[in-house]
Amino acid sequence: MWRKLGLGALGLVGVVLVGGGAFVGYRLSVFPPTFPDEPQSDLRPSTDPEVIAKGRYLVDAVAHCTVCHTREEDFKARDSVEGILPSGGHEWVMGPMGTVRSANITSDPETGIGAMSDAELARILKHAVDADGDPKVMMVAVGPMADEDLVAVMSYIRSLPPVKNKVQPSELTTMGKVVMPLMAPAYLAPKPDWPLPPRVDDGEISVARGNYLANGPAFCFACHSQPVLSPRLGVVEPRFAGCITPDPDPLDPEMELCAPNLTPDPETGFLAAWSEDAFVSRFRGGRAVEHSPMPWENFGLMTENDLRSIFRYLQSLEPTRRVTGPPYRKAGWTPG
Ligand code: HEC
Ligand code: HEC
């Protein structure tokens, strides 16, 4: 999602804007935007081992917290990311706008969140703002989930052993502070109130479970639809019809990425000819596109029943005709 920012275009606008000194002074005086009126959350962690185990599955697999909360080298060096400790330090370098870094969320009191109150942790997870109402930059990219699952996530996070790893705070440059709130305010805003299907517990394979996962904690819809970045994060409906504007590959300017149309349209749906077994094996097979933002390592840890549920849910959608093309291709690709 973060990559949807269109760094090149933003940089250009930034150069123009930074020309106006008074304007820049004003923009800096209102940075960061704060949201003190965002609700508090009264959810609190539990020490019940069953709840902690559910939280571990969410953090490791479905809600893919660890893809962002570990250093990329450590994450990619492992054969399996199961149980990897989210000690922070993943970096998103945004050129002239600055660098965002993920926090150490293990229980270390000095470098992790051991000293953070439960109330603040709950508010960050539910609304992506801290105790002061300041936005926690990328936490807006965490899928919505039922309170029961949020409690499980908090409980697992609280149960983690401390890892000492001091992460430098994120820093936006003057240009970043001016440009980002104007062009992509969604990244500096609280989480939107996404509509959430009823929670269905894991267990049986069902369309309802797939619906909850794909529109909730797995957040599949957010990438597999066209995002809207202003003023709060949204998507162009219908969901799951794939990208309209592709994202530049952040590490290779010659290439671009487009999250494919996952609706069952016979001509343009990416999964139209897939069997359920092929879908499961694809998720067990892991990453094919090295720079893809899709957290394949985490999703590969999902249970077979959950993957089958997601497939059945996607197959149950209204088909939407939208040509999304090859997911990874030369920049500037056009159909035909
Ligand atoms: C898309 C990447 C991404 C995902 C996914 C993500 N986070 Fe974060 N998270 C971040 C970044 C980046 C920060 C630091 C934000 C800042 O500096 O404003 C952060 C901050 C936090 C904080 C605040 C830490 C502090 O010391 O202030 C907590 C707690 C947290 N994340 C927990 C989680 C949990 C639990 C999940 C999974 C449910 C998760 N995050 C998923 C990127 C992510
Ligand atoms: C952070 C963004 C993101 C999220 C979240 C995400 N995807 Fe993707 N997905 C992509 C992108 C980008 C591609 C194209 C590059 C690739 O294949 O990795 C892709 C590719 C795919 C493909 C095609 C793979 C192939 O074989 O070519 C499938 C199927 C898919 N996603 C399903 C899902 C499902 C199901 C979920 C939720 C469980 C999901 N995605 C969540 C971004 C995302």
Domain that holds residue 264: 192-331
164 and 290 part of one domain? no
Verify that 8 and 80 share a domain, yes or no: yes
CA of residue 291 to ligand 2 center, whole Å: 12
Domain annotation covers residue 336: no
Task: Mark whether 63 and 212 lie in a shared domain.
Answer: no
- Global pTM? 0.95
Asked whether residue 95 falls in the same domain as residue 147, the answer is yes
Judge if 211 and 143 occupy the same domain: no
Query: What is the CA(238)–ligand 2 centre distance, in A?
Result: 17
Ligand 1 site-directed mutation target among 56, 58, 69, most atoms within 8 Å of CB: 69
Among 186, 221, 250, the domain boundary falls at: 186
Residue identifier of the C-alpha nearest atom 18 of ligand 1: 136
The CA-to-CA distance between both ends of the chain, in Å, stands at 27
- Please indicate, yes or no, whether residues 105 and 218 belong to a single structural domain of this protein: no
Rounded to the nearest whole angstrom, what is the distance from the C-alpha of residue 294 to the centroid of ligand 2? 5
Tracing tokens 């939280």 back to the chain, one arrives at 55
In this predicted model, what pLDDT tens digit does every residue of 138-191 receive, in sequence order? 999 999 999 999 999 999 999 999 999 999 999 999 999 999 999 999 999 999
For ligand 2, say whether the CB of 328 is within 6 Å of any of its atoms: yes
Q: What is the pLDDT of residue 226?
A: 97
* Range with lowest mean pLDDT among 24-33, 159-168, 266-275, 323-332: 24-33
Calculate the alpha carbon distances from 108 to 55, 103, 230 in Å: 19, 12, 36
Q: Is residue 21 domain-resident?
A: yes
Tokens of 147: 């309170």
Strands (E), 37-178: 91-93, 98-101, 171-172
Ligand 1 center to 128 CA (angstroms): 8
CB 16 within 8 A of CB 185: no
Pocket test for ligand 2, best of 142, 223, 324 (most atoms within 8 A of CB): 223
Using CA atoms, how far apart are residues 246 and 165, in angstroms rounded to an integer? 35
> For position 273, what pLDDT does the model report?
95
Query: Which tokens go with 245?
Result: 């504007």
Give 53's DSSP letter.
H
**pLDDT bracket for residue 11 (50, 70, 90):** low
| Domain end (from 186, 207, 232) | 186
Query: pLDDT tier at 21 (50, 70, 90 boundaries)?
Result: confident
* Position 227 in a domain: yes
